[in-house]
Amino acid sequence: MKAGNCPSAGNLRGLGLIARAMAQNRISHAYLVTGPPGAGKKQLVEKCAVFLLCQDPDMDPSHPSACGTCSSCRKFQRGVHPDFLELKPQGRYIKIDQVRSMQNMIAFAPLEGKRRVVSIVSADKLNINASNALLKTLEEPPENTHLFLAAASSSRLLATIVSRCQALPLDQEKEVLGRNFASPASDQASFFLEYVSGCSRELSGKMLEDGILEIRETLFSFLCSGKKKELFFHTSQRIGRSRQALDLSLTVLNTVTRDLLLLLSSDFMQDRHLINLDKASELIKLAHGLNYDSLMKYRKLLEKAERYLERNVNPGMIADALLIFWIKEEHRY
Ligand SMILES: [Zn+2]
């Protein structure tokens, strides 16, 4: 396969790194590519994948490439290679079930050749549960399986995931995404909005219109209050007033849980990688009163709430459950 469909025909640095690792039999289990939309992340991942799967790759260090003619290359080109797995968002996120079914598949030896490649090009779309499930694979990677993650920025991933991946350089580093992303909202919440909208201006506009920032404020006021019982009714009414409001609330609570887990797992060292960056001081205070186990429990509750919402359970009831958890938590201390 020639340069693929990358307009720049570039990305030789990243592919060169893979080729060298392959020659030395030291290919990493996980790589992470970061760069703004349009920078060629997907192309680089595909080039590396077809190269790793090829039965007769050209190892020329100045221009490594897959042969393009072996049965593996042909299957890859037709999109039917059995050892190439892609995890893509279903709806807004990549969900835990998708990660689990990938894990079931990689538990067995590759079908076609020596290796298997898993591509997660929208790794910033892994929801918190999916991220934590993926972490298991990164901690104990099966042999001959290589994961390629890509995201606009590593700050959008759990620090524990980032630390287990080797960085793969893109040839063209364009301007950091955050600077290009013109958000109609205040700069304060721009990190948060970028994250939840996947940097889609259209989706971010729609979420703003639907009141996601108001919902976030309501939730933070509740979470940071020492009088949660008194705020319970008001908060529940707001976040459970409709399916749409509850859906947005779940989005917010997922980012809050992710941020709190990040703080706890990094001894508060990763505060600049928070999604709710403008709420760092609130989150740090909140995290001090929490432990990892309760947060994991809350993550499970959020997962359950998502399923209930899909099954048309009354949003008000789901909202109550999401808030009561925090009231109970407050009384444990
Ligand atoms: Zn080939």
Residues contacting 72, CB < 8 A, separation 6+: 53, 54, 55, 81, 112, 113
Instruction: Give the 3-state secondary structure percentages of the chain, helix then strand then coil, rounded to 5.
Output: 55, 10, 35
Q: What is the pLDDT of residue 4?
A: 38
Q: Which residues pair with 76 in a beta bridge?
A: none
Q: How far is the CA of 322 from the centre of ligand 1 (A)?
A: 52
Q: How far is the CA of 63 from the centre of ligand 1 (A)?
A: 15
Phi, psi of 286 (to 5 degrees): -65, -40
Q: How far is the CA of 51 from the centre of ligand 1 (A)?
A: 7
Q: What is the pLDDT of residue 292?
A: 87
Q: How far is the CA of 107 from the centre of ligand 1 (A)?
A: 25
The answer on pLDDT for 173 being more than 70 is no
Q: How far is the CA of 112 from the centre of ligand 1 (A)?
A: 12
Q: What are 187's two structure tokens?
A: 């700069």
Rounded Cα gap, residues 285 and 292, in angstroms:
15
Residue 100's CB: how many other CB atoms inside 10 A? 15
Q: How far is the CA of 75 from the centre of ligand 1 (A)?
A: 9
Helix boundaries (H) for the chain: 12-23, 41-53, 71-77, 96-106, 128-139, 159-162, 177-180, 190-197, 201-209, 212-224, 228-239, 243-265, 280-288, 292-310, 315-331
pLDDT of 205-215, one tens digit each?
899 999 999 99
Q: What is the pLDDT of residue 175?
A: 34
pLDDT of 236-266, one tens digit each?
999 999 999 999 999 999 999 999 988 888 7
Rounded Cα gap, residues 83 and 77, in angstroms:
13
The answer on pLDDT for 182 being more than 50 is no
Mean pLDDT across the chain? 86
pLDDT of 276-318, one tens digit each?
988 999 999 999 888 888 999 999 999 999 999 999 899 999 9
Domains of the chain: 12-175 (3.40.50.300), 181-331 (no CATH)
Q: What is the pLDDT of residue 333?
A: 54
Q: How far is the CA of 34 from the centre of ligand 1 (A)?
A: 27
- Would strands 145-151 and 116-120 be described as parallel, antiparallel, or unpaired? parallel
Helix (H, G, I), strand (E, B) or coil at 125: helix
The answer on pLDDT for 194 being more than 90 is no
Q: How far is the CA of 77 from the centre of ligand 1 (A)?
A: 10
Ligand 1 is an ion; its neighbours by CB within 5 Å are 54, 66-67, 70, 73
Q: How far is the CA of 71 from the centre of ligand 1 (A)?
A: 7
Q: Which of 53-67, 206-220, 256-270 has the lowest mean pLDDT?
A: 256-270
The answer on pLDDT for 38 being more than 90 is no
Closest by Cα among 151, 123, 156 to 138: 123
Q: Which residues pair with 126 in a beta bridge?
A: 94
Q: How far is the CA of 9 from the centre of ligand 1 (A)?
A: 18
Q: How far is the CA of 164 from the centre of ligand 1 (A)?
A: 29
Residues of the chain above pLDDT 90, percent: 55
Q: Which residues pair with 150 in a beta bridge?
A: 33
Q: How far is the CA of 83 from the centre of ligand 1 (A)?
A: 14
Q: How far is the CA of 100 from the centre of ligand 1 (A)?
A: 29
Q: How far is the CA of 50 from the centre of ligand 1 (A)?
A: 7
Rounded Cα gap, residues 289 and 225, in angstroms:
12
Closest by Cα among 73, 132, 72 to 103: 132
